[in-house]
């Protein structure tokens, strides 16, 4: 099964993608994670993407589509893919349709995670992840059971993303509304759109996604 998690920054796409990976065996394809890894590794893609990401703007379609195309050539994606943060523009959505068709794959659903804009800056600016395993936390909404220790792996180092500050989050929201929100209409048109309430508790959102995906 191949599914897209669609929603603004802070909607919970990464959190839900990680949960789905554990329960389904699908792979998470996060273009944000892949681009951050490219920046950290200092690759050509990373050099081109760095300043754009720091400004909260969208990296060019060509770069992102190239990264996704390469990733889809890896055999583990045949187990099913959860697209997290991709596609983000109409050109990317069309490219994804093309890439999937070329590889004999289909898109099963695009899950739109609906959240109130006013809460997003707060959600995003309080979040951090375990440096060792990537488990996500939040200053207020999801603290580790024992302060300073990751629930998932016991790690004690945590990272905050450079672009998770209030100013950059606002720029990312502008980009979302201008370029990504129109994809809701695109996937309504293809009959793939399912909507879930992203404001609910994490477990409830997971259940809503499972209901939206149907049995099996």
Bond preceding residue 87 cis, omega within 30 of 0: yes
Site for ligand AMP in 152-171 (CB under 6 A): 163
Rounded to an integer, what distance in angstroms lies between the CA atom of residue 152 and that of residue 90? Answer: 36
Pick from 172, 187, 194, 208: which binds ligand AMP (CB under 6 A)? Answer: 172
- Beta bridge mates, 112: 6, 195
> Which x/- pattern, by CB under 6 A, does the window 32-51 give for ligand AMP?
x--x----------------
127 catalytic? Reply is: yes
Q: Which residues contact 95 (CB under 8 A, 6 or more apart)?
A: 61, 65, 68, 69, 87
Q: Is residue 86 part of the contact set for ligand AMP (CB under 6 A)? A: yes
- Beta bridge mates, 114: 197
On whether the CB atoms of residues 2 and 80 are closer than 8 A, the answer is yes
Rounded to an integer, what distance in angstroms lies between the CA atom of residue 116 and that of residue 112? Answer: 13
Site for ligand AMP in 87-106 (CB under 6 A): 88, 92
Closest CA to 21 of 76, 86, 92, 103: 76
Q: How many residues does the chain have?
A: 216
98 catalytic? Reply is: no
- Which position among 18, 36, 50, 172 bears the catalytic label? 172
Q: Is residue 52 part of the contact set for ligand AMP (CB under 6 A)? A: yes
Q: Is residue 64 part of the contact set for ligand AMP (CB under 6 A)? A: yes
Pick from 85, 93, 155, 205: which binds ligand AMP (CB under 6 A)? Answer: 85
Q: Is residue 53 part of the contact set for ligand AMP (CB under 6 A)? A: yes
13 catalytic? Reply is: yes
- Which position among 18, 36, 71, 88 bears the catalytic label? 88
Residue 22 C-beta: closest distance to ligand AMP, Å: 19
Query: Which residue's C-beta sits nearest to ligand AMP?
Result: 32
Give residue 214's region: left, alpha or beta (phi > 0; psi -120 to 50).
left
88 catalytic? Reply is: yes
Q: Which residues contact 190 (CB under 8 A, 6 or more apart)?
A: 107
Residues contributing to the site for ligand AMP (CB under 6 A): 9, 31-32, 35, 52-53, 56-59, 64, 85-86, 88, 92, 163, 172
Q: State the catalytic residues.
A: 13, 88, 127, 161, 172
């Amino acid at each position: 099964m191949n599914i897209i998690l669609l929603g603004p920054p802070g909607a919970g796409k990464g959190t839900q993608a990680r949960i789905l990976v554990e329960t389904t065996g699908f792979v998470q394809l996060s273009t944000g994670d892949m681009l951050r890894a490219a920046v950290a590794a200092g690759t050509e893609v990373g050099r081109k993407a760095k300043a754009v990401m720091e400004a909260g703007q969208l990296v060019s379609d060509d770069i992102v589509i190239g990264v996704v195309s390469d990733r889809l050539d890896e055999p583990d994606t045949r187990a099913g893919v959860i697209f997290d943060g991709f596609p983000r523009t109409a050109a990317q959505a069309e490219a994804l349709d093309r890439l999937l068709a070329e590889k004999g794959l289909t898109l099963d659903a695009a899950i739109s995670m609906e959240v109130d804009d006013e809460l997003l800056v707060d959600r995003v600016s309080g979040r951090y992840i375990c440096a060792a395993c990537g488990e996500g936390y939040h200053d207020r909404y999801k603290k580790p059971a024992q302060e300073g220790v990751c629930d998932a792996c016991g790690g004690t180092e945590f990272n905050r993303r450079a672009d998770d500050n209030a100013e950059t989050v606002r720029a990312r929201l502008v980009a979302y509304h201008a370029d990504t929100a129109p994809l809701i209409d695109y996937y309504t048109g293809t009959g793939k759109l399912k909507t879930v309430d992203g404001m609910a508790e994490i477990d409830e959102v997971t259940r809503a996604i499972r209901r939206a995906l149907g049995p099996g």
